Amino acid sequence: MVVISVFVLSNCASAPKGDPETLAEFQKLNDPIEPTNRAIFSLNQGIDKAIIKPITGFYRTITPAPAREAVHSFLENLRTPVILANDVLQGEIGRAGNTVIRFGVNSTWGILGFRDAASDLGFEHHTEDFGQTLAMWGIGEGPFLMLPVLGPSNPRDAVGKVVDYLIDPINWWATNTDSGVVSMTRTGITGIDTRDQLWDVLEDIDKNSLDPYASIRSLYRQRRMDDIRNGAEVDDPPAPTLGGDFELADPEGMDRAPTNK
Amino acid sequence: MKFAFRTTYLAIIGTIVLFSPITAKAEANGFHKGASTFVMALANDVITNLTGNALTDLQRQEKLRGILKSYFDVNSIGKWVLGRHWRKASAAERSEYLGLFEDLIVNTYAIRFKSYANEKIKLTGTASRGQTAIVKSVIERGSQQPVRVDWRVTYPDGQYKIFDIVIEGVSMIQTQRSEFSSVIRRNGGRVSGLIATLKNRSRSGARN
């Protein structure tokens, strides 16, 4: 642990001096430990190439797309208690109702959740997690973090992940009944499903990005902002001549406060 | 005299206050409608001319270049993506960059339309932000989850143009900007570093 923190500290990108624009960009990037994050990113790419991607690739060869979609729906249905708790913690009563109805419909008519029958009835899927709840409570994301294996995150979302794990009744049940295998199996399958869902995006980045780390950092932050806004459009989209001729770069669009619509 | 002036003044202000929201709304509706029609025209053009296996890769790239030029505000996008570095770039660098940027889009995206077959676009609404109309849509892909796509449409020089495409909340130009700015930063803050990287990419793209 000490070794890790020394490593992290010694690799801190020092804030650039002098040029105010460069400094502003550094602050907007919100990635003060970029060198360390990039090192972890390389490690993750290695792990992905050696283990995660081959397993997921095998899963994709033996399982047709509709079956993978069914697995994904099943796993999402299992997440219902966590989504519901976060709907409620955010005061989103309408969305909480939607979550309850979806669970009822999908667990029965949707055959234990393998089919997302509720979407066909107009009860669309939405995601919530404790990271988003913290954001709605006004807690900032903190600096960008690349977590080993788990990938892009930040302190707020990392804490959120832990809380989501702790409030999940399926994990309580598994702990109380000594069914650690169930939790482990679920984690394993969820990991493969997540990698499967990201397959096309990651292939695309791998093939086309000039800087995969920067692309993934940007994608993660934009997706999280979108999740937090519940898909509402931003108030000030980029415009051709906004503010005259090319103001400071806002590489991540982070000037946009989340609004709850 | 003073009184009369004030009355007239108030009457004018009153008229503006009373009627401007209505006219503004009517204009916005016209703008939205035009923008929606424009997005549908683009989608049809793409489906007719870019998808399917009848084209060679090179033909598809040239068709995409045509579509890009007629439907997208490519130069404004290129400038916005370069951001503050545009100001520092020399005239020669700017024009070289814009050409390479167009090539990058054509090379990156053309291949994707090859596998498109069952995609259907459905418009779901419109909104405005400043001078930008946002045309919202979902793209349905058979059994797969539909994808939420917002089209940010502007109206420079009396013509509709796409300025940005936002897929599931991810802005294409925003993502491109963070990628480019990272490449520039890691090349000592010089635009020439980005241009060299783009040239390399364009050469390896031509070989494939």
Model confidence pLDDT, tens digit, residues A203-259: 999 999 999 999 999 999 999 999 999 888 888 888 886 433 444 444 444 444 343
Instruction: Report yes or no on whether pTM surpasses 0.90.
Output: no
Interchain CB distance below 8 Å, A226 and B170: yes
For the beta sheet containing B170-171, the strands, ordered from the edge strand earlier in sequence to the opposite edge, are: B120-129, B132-141, B144-154, B161-167, B170-171
Q: How far is B137 from chain A (nearest CA, A)?
A: 12
> pLDDT digit string (tens) for A14-40?
566 667 777 887 888 899 999 999 999
In this complex, which of A223, A225, A251 lies closest to B177 when CB atoms are compared?
A: A251
Which of A74-83, A176-185, B120-129, B194-203: highest mean pLDDT? A74-83
**Rounded Cα distance, A155 and A161, in Å:** 10
Distance of CA A2 to the CA centre of its chain: 28
Tell me the residue type at B151.
W
Residues B178-188 have a mean pLDDT of: 94
Question: What residues of chain B lie within 8 A of the CB of A253, using their CB?
Answer: 171, 174
- CA nearest neighbour of B194 among B97, B75, B102: B97
Chain A CB contacts of B108 below 8 Å: 208
φ, ψ (nearest 5 deg) of residue B44: -65, -40
Measured CA to CA in angstroms, residue A191 lies from A71, A241, B2 at distances of 12, 43, 77
Q: Across A42-46, A227-231, B58-62, B103-107, which has the greatest mean pLDDT?
A: A42-46
Report pLDDT for B151: 94
Nearest CA in chain B to A248: B84
Q: Which pLDDT band holds residue A6 (cuts at 50, 70, 90)?
A: very low
Given an 8 Å threshold on Cβ–Cβ distance, is B130 in contact with A236? yes
Q: Give the DSSP letter string of B38-55.
A: HHHHHHHHHHHHTSSSSS
Range A168-177 contact pairs with CB under 8 angstroms and sequence separation of 24 or more: A168/A79, A168/A81, A168/A82, A169/A81, A170/A78, A170/A81
Q: B4 versus B163: which is more confidently predicted?
A: B163
Helix and strand counts by DSSP (H, E) for chain A: 14, 2
Whether B183 has its CB under 8 Å from any CB of chain A: the answer is yes
Residues 69-128 of B with CB under 8 A from A: 73, 76, 79-80, 82-87, 108, 127
pLDDT value at residue A16: 65
Task: With cut-offs at 50, 70 and 90, classify the pLDDT of residue B42.
Answer: very high
Which has more pLDDT, B58 or A191?
A191
Token pair for B99: 């050409």
Identify from A199, A208, A256 which residue to disrupt to test chain B contact, counting B C-beta atoms within 10 A and taking the largest count. A208
Q: Look up the ipTM and state it.
A: 0.81
Mutate to test the interface with A, among B138, B172, B179 (most CBs of A within 10 A): B179
A124 lies within 8 A of chain B by CB = no
Judge: A235–B129 Cβ closer than 8 Å, yes or no.
Answer: yes
pLDDT score of B115 more than 60: yes
pLDDT tens sequence across B135-170: 999 998 877 778 999 999 999 888 999 999 999 999
Say which DSSP state A18 is in: S
Q: Could you tell me which residues are beta bridge partners of residue A152?
A: A146
Best of A41, A216, A220, A222 to substitute, by most chain B Cβ atoms within 10 angstroms, is: A222
Amino acid B128: pLDDT: 86
DSSP 3-state of A108: helix
First-last CA distance in chain B: 80
| A206 vs B: CB within 8 A | no
Residue B106 to chain A, least CA–CA distance (Å)? 12
Q: Using a CB–CB cutoff of 8 Å, tell me whether A141 touches chain B.
A: no
Cβ distance B169 to A242 less than 8 Å, yes or no, reads: no
**What's the count of helices (H) and strands (E) in chain B, helices before strands?**
7, 5
B154 touching A, CB under 8 A?
yes
pLDDT at B68 over 90: yes
A200 contact B CB<8A:
no
- Among all chains, which residue has been given the structure tokens 């009355």? B7
**Predicted confidence band at B17 (pLDDT cuts at 50, 70, 90)?**
low
The answer on pLDDT for B34 being more than 50 is: yes
- pLDDT tens per residue, range A145-178: 999 999 999 999 999 999 999 999 988 888 888 8
Mean pLDDT value across chain A: 86
pLDDT of residue B16: 53
- What chain B holds in terms of domains, given with CATH numbers, is 11-207 (3.10.450.710)
Residues in chain A within 8 Å Cβ distance of B177: 249, 251
Mean pLDDT is lowest, of A229-238, B2-11, B25-34, B134-143, for B2-11
Rg value, chain A, Cα: 20
Cβ contact, residue pair A233, B150, below 8 Å? yes
pLDDT at A199 > cutoff 80: yes
Pick from A217, A219, A242: CB nearest B170? A219
| A107-156: pLDDT as tens digits | 999 899 999 999 888 898 999 999 999 999 999 999 999 999 999 999 99
pLDDT at B6: 61
